[in-house]
Structures are given as C-alpha cells and as structure tokens.
Structure 1
C-alpha cells in the first residue's frame, strides 16, 4: 500500500516503516517555544535533570505573545528565557523580531521534509514548506530538549484538492475559512491534511502558510501544502504521496466559485459569505497574526486603502508578522499608504490576537480580524465580538465602518 506524506516523513525520522495508527519514536529536527510556553518548558527541563539541550543550534525561543511585556511578571519570565538561551546556546528572538512561526521560516530553522515540534498550536504553519510540524505542551517540549526525540502516533490523512482560479478579492484566507466551515472545528481531529490541486500550486509561500496555519482550527495534527510550484532559494526534495496512498477522506473544492468569507462570533467554523453580514458596524480592525501578517497581506490592505481614509468610527491596528515584513513594507511604500489611511502599526509580533495587550476591545465592540480564532474573550474581552476575514475584508470594513 502506498504512503501519505506524513507516513513518509515519519518513517524517514524513525527506524521503521509506518502506517496510520502506528506509534513510533522519531528524531526531531527543530523545536520552538514562545514567551507563553518557554518558561514552563525551562522549568520542566530543569526538574527532569536536564543539563544540555539536544540540538541547541536548532532550538528557537521567541518573545512574541507579550512583546513588549505589559507587566513585571511577564518581564521577569522573558528575562529567564534570555538567561536560559545564553546558558544553552540556543537561538533567541527578542521583542519586536516577530512571530515565532514567521521567524522559523524567515531564518530557515525549518526545511521541507523535516519534523518540527513547537509549544504552540499553530506550529502546523510550517506544513506550508512540506514539513511535519505540530504543537506540543511545554512538558513534552522539555522532554525533546532532553533527548532530541519524542513519540508520535501516525495520523490518518484527509486529502483536499483545490481546483479552479480565485476571483478578484478572494484569497487563500477565504479558501481555508470555507474549509473550516465545511469540516467543522473538530472535523480533522488528530488527522493530517494534505492540500493539493491547481489552485494550491499557484500560491505564494505566504498564502500556503495561511492554509497550513488554520489546519489546527479543524483539529488537525498537521497540514501539508503540496510543494509543487513552491519556489525556494535553495534546492529541496519534493516529498509527494504515492498514487495509491490511503486517505480517510477526499474532498474536492472549486475555488473559482468562492466569495469572500467571514467567520462570525464565537467560533472559527461559523463561516458565511461576507455578504451575509453586510452592514454590521465595526469599531476595530486588526491585520496581523501568524495567519495573515505577511507582506502580501499588508499589500492587499494597502490596495484597498490607497488614497483613502478609514471610517472615523473605526480603528485599524496592524502588527507585521516579523521585523523583516515591516522593513519590506517600509521599502515598497505599503507602510506609508496604510498609515496615511489612518492605520496604527504595532510591534512586530502577535499583537492583540492573544488578548494580552495592544488592542483589547471594549464591551460590545465588533472587531474584524485577519487572525485565526474568534472564541469568546480571545482578544481579551469576553463581551466583545470578533469576526474573522482576509486582510482585504478587514481593509474594506474599516474603510466603510461596517462589514
């Protein structure tokens, strides 16, 4: 029987051939932890008697969730990350460098065909490169630091084929929102998703990252985007599924029929055509996050807002996914277009997505966000309402003051 992508990658990192359902030990190529998970991982590592982090050259610590720190407790936790990184000779990306998932790709800490574990659920983002990347808890991550290995149960795989050509104004964010709406928030629990098809092959790396990123919103253990059409500066091996690979489900989607999509409060799988919620008043827009904070996302918003002003009853906050994205936006004029339109740029990082600071909404306010989750209280106030959409949808909404 043929193999899926995840079965091939796991076998390459194990000492045996594997099939879905098998449990095996794998060597781990890279790990990542953020300021929300690294402090506990460090504590657990030390309690396990750890002295030297295995593969420290590809161990990445990132201060991105509360960047800069909003209080002294968080500041002290981040200080411990810095001292641990110095002690263990790991990589540390400090305040303003960007979101961990973006940094991992920008700085080449992850490559196609690798296995990456991160103490963050959106580690699945790196499937955009054809890597098996998944989230684990801080204690599990500490165990990987200690041994360089961990156990995995090989997931079954769902195959998604995206065919057709996107209409103007429709993006990979609309595609993945549509899919989350169809499969549901637990429709791919502990499964791998393979995204393929002609529409996928034409996507940029940034658009592929959006697809892979929201795989976890369906409960997926991993999300792979077919590397056909992927262009990187360095050559790499394209790991493809066998023609007779076994899939738990196969879905075909004609993306040419898609309209802009919006996820309504309070769950990512409550997805409707944007026209369904037209004229809903909006008080705040947010463009950023590990889903849609890249240069092409900012450019899409700038295309909508060029020469215009956002509605006086709205605010537009933008957090670039990395400092490199910010530099690129400054160089090509995107930053100027957006700030002249009334946008406020925040520190490169997670920004208001996680609800710790930098954009917490007021009671009863409606927010349109390019991020990936809209659970009640997700952005820091359980009495507000968060809608999810593409950067273009966010820009159009703040321009008119309504969805």
Structure 2
C-alpha cells in the first residue's frame, strides 16, 4: 500500500523489526508471494532485523528473546497479541494497517489516553497451576469485554513469583478480555532476563543489575495512581482450567471436563511455546505415549527454544511420546497450516483463541496449559497431570 501511494520509505530501519511467522515456510503460491513482498521490502530498506525462514520464530516470543523489548518502550505491531510485550513494563499494542503505515513512515502512533485496570493477583499458586490457568480465570471473571480500551496492570505476589515466560503468558491474553495492552512492573526478574543485552557483556547500559533496577523503577506505577477499576483475584484456590464453547471467557475446571474426547493436542504459540512451557509438557510426557486416538503436535516458538529443547532432551521426549515436532510457526493457531482441524474435530491447545473455526472450519478448541494439554494427549480425553497418577 505504501509503494502504491509513492511513500516507499521507513523512518528508521534500526527501529523496525520484521518476521515471517504466521505461515512459514510458505504453504502455497499466495503465502510464498506474501513472503517475497516482505523479503524484498526489508532488503530494499536495509531492515537488519528481518527474520526469514531458518531464523524466524513466533514474533512475540522471538523479539523478547532477542532483547528488543525493554521497560518504558512503546511497541506497535500489526498483530493483536502485541500486548505480550507489556510483561517487560512496556506499552505494547496491536494496531491496524493504517496505524502501522504511519508508524513505519513517521515513527509515531496515536492512541486515546488509555485508562488502566489494576489486577491484583493475590495468594500463591498450587502445584500444577500455571500462568495460563490464572489468565483464563481472570478472563472468566471479567468477561471478553471486561477490559475494552484499557491497560491491564498485573500486580501482586503471584506476578512477582512468576518468571518472564509466565508474565508474557498473562499479558499475551489481555486482548482476550478486550485489553489494549497488558502490563507488569519491571523488577529484578526483568533485569535478570535482559541482563545479557543491557549489561557489560551486551550494550553496557548498566554496570550492575542494581543500577538497572533503580533506573527501571521509574516505570512502576505510583502507589497513589488512579485506576479506572481494581479487580482482585485470589489465586490460592485455582485449579487447572480449560475453555469450553467459543469464547475465552467460557471456562470450566479440567475436573468438570473429564471424559471429553479430543482428536488433536497442540502445544506451542506466542502464549505457550517457550522453553518453560515445553519443559512443563515434557515432564508430563516423560515415559508415556500419546493415546492411539490422538495426534500430538508441538511447535517450539523460536529456533533458540527449539535448540534448547534439543539440548535438554525435550524434543526426544516429545518424539518418544508420539508427537509430531514442527518448526516455529503460528500456522495451527489461526487454522492456516501445521495442524488445521477438520469439521467436527476437537483440539486441546495451548494457544489463545477458541473462536468458532479458529483452528479449522467446524473445529472446537479447548484452551489450556501445556501440562494439561500433555496429560490430555496421554489419556485422549481432557485431563490434568494429577489424572495420570
């Protein structure tokens, strides 16, 4: 569109990141052409951070992994799950094509001043309960429109105890409650994750982790900050959850869904395709096999995650269990490749949307954690790891 309008330029090639992730490698001539257009554009403008086949991964896992997102950054992308990056104390939002074009041309984006909902995640998580269960419980509580045009600020001891992977899972699904962005306050966990990029061995922004933490404090909300509303969720009694129906706020406990048969189990995506997620699933699958009636598919979210999973023996565990291991891609999540459902089929998935036809026309998707998905694969019916004991 920019080429057609005679505006084929970029404001700063060093601040633009591009990746082919939704269908990769190309599955047909149309997606091959889309890849070629992006490839040619990136080369034409000297976009150094363009990630083509072989280097590419799911963008919302790849970009944080490469240190591109920092506290205080403003991040826009043409994908609704851009809210993931708020886990670092950034303002990150998915935008439409017009706003994206303006961002590419001018380096700016206009937003209505967003109001903020403070989400206090209280208590502590029981063994087997994960960030995915927490965000499903929250969406069930406030509804799919409960945070429309709002920033969801995640606070409390449950967030503090999470690693960056768990925080990214929380923020990733803020949009499923209507949120513009999710947000976590930067702390030492954030600093530790970013240290190889911001410390002496990287860009040398900071000489010590304590110095970085002090600087990042400016991005933490004031104690007397005004909020549009406050939502409290006691997480101590939570148990593994799954969606039902075709909306992310339609949620039941795994216990209530026992004996619900599935045809496919999918583990991956920008929600749950990181190394921590694969470790959780592999721990359940170790020494077990996928049920004869189920096909299991796992897609590590980035090449680095794939390589680490290989090194740790996780890929072998998945293969021994009977899973198909695919390259990093978004394909199955949006029903385009690498795991599309047939009409009437049911999938237990670690993705983020269960809309009608999301993973294939006429298919049903149950969203759940990697551990629950792995247990479901073994039994062939919706389950959590406790059911395997």
TM-score of the two chains, using structure 2 as the length reference: 0.90
2:321 maps to: 341
Secondary structure (helix, strand or coil) at the match of 1:162 reads strand
Q: 1:350 aligns with which of 320, 324, 330?
A: 330
Q: 2:73 aligns with which of 108, 114, 123?
A: 114
* In 1, Cα distance between equivalents of 2:124 and 2:223: 25
Distance 1:164 1:172, change over 3 A: same
The answer (yes or no) to whether the contact 1:112–1:129 under 8 Å persists in 2 is: yes
Give 1:277-292 correspondences, 5 Å limit.
Answer: 277-292=257-272
Q: 1:155 aligns with which of 94, 103, 114?
A: 114
Q: 1:93 aligns with which of 38, 51, 54?
A: 51
* In 2, Cα distance between equivalents of 1:216 and 1:89: 32
Q: 1:69 aligns with which of 16, 26, 36?
A: 26
Q: 2:253 aligns with which of 273, 280, 287?
A: 273
2:381 maps to: 402
* In 2, Cα distance between equivalents of 1:132 and 1:251: 20
Secondary structure (helix, strand or coil) at the match of 1:220 reads coil
1:81 paired with 2:18, answer no
Q: Once superposed, which parts of structure 1, at least 4 consecutive aligned residues long, lie more than 6 Å away?
A: none
* In 2, Cα distance between equivalents of 1:48 and 1:105: 33
1:166 paired with 2:112, answer no
2:62 maps to: 103
1:321 maps to: 301
The answer (yes or no) to whether the contact 2:126–2:238 under 8 Å persists in 1 is: yes
- Name structure 1 gaps, 5 residues minimum: 1-42
1:209 paired with 2:168, answer yes
The answer (yes or no) to whether the contact 1:128–1:208 under 8 Å persists in 2 is: yes
* In 2, Cα distance between equivalents of 1:226 and 1:112: 9
Measured against aligned partners, the alpha-carbon deviations of 1:332-372 in whole angstroms (never above 9, x if no partner) come to 11111111011111111213001111111122111100000
* In 2, Cα distance between equivalents of 1:398 and 1:299: 15
The answer (yes or no) to whether the contact 1:202–1:229 under 8 Å persists in 2 is: no
1:387 maps to: 366
Q: Tell me how many residue pairs correspond in the alignment.
A: 359
Secondary structure (helix, strand or coil) at the match of 1:256 reads coil
The answer (yes or no) to whether the contact 2:119–2:231 under 8 Å persists in 1 is: yes
* In 2, Cα distance between equivalents of 1:187 and 1:47: 39
2:343 maps to: 363
Q: 2:221 aligns with which of 236, 241, 247?
A: 241
The answer (yes or no) to whether the contact 2:13–2:45 under 8 Å persists in 1 is: yes
Secondary structure (helix, strand or coil) at the match of 2:348 reads strand
* In 1, Cα distance between equivalents of 2:99 and 2:229: 30
The answer (yes or no) to whether the contact 1:287–1:318 under 8 Å persists in 2 is: yes
* In 2, Cα distance between equivalents of 1:51 and 1:377: 36
1:257 paired with 2:237, answer yes
Over the aligned positions, Cα root-mean-square deviation in angstroms equals 1.1
2:208 maps to: none
The answer (yes or no) to whether the contact 2:118–2:231 under 8 Å persists in 1 is: yes
* In 1, Cα distance between equivalents of 2:239 and 2:10: 48
The answer (yes or no) to whether the contact 1:288–1:351 under 8 Å persists in 2 is: no
Secondary structure (helix, strand or coil) at the match of 1:192 reads strand
- Name structure 2 gaps, 5 residues minimum: 199-211, 383-389
Measured against aligned partners, the alpha-carbon deviations of 1:82-123 in whole angstroms (never above 9, x if no partner) come to 110001111211124211111211122221110011000000
Secondary structure (helix, strand or coil) at the match of 1:69 reads coil
Secondary structure (helix, strand or coil) at the match of 1:149 reads coil
Secondary structure (helix, strand or coil) at the match of 2:85 reads helix
* In 2, Cα distance between equivalents of 1:66 and 1:265: 26
The answer (yes or no) to whether the contact 1:185–1:219 under 8 Å persists in 2 is: yes
Distance 1:165 1:103, change over 3 A: same
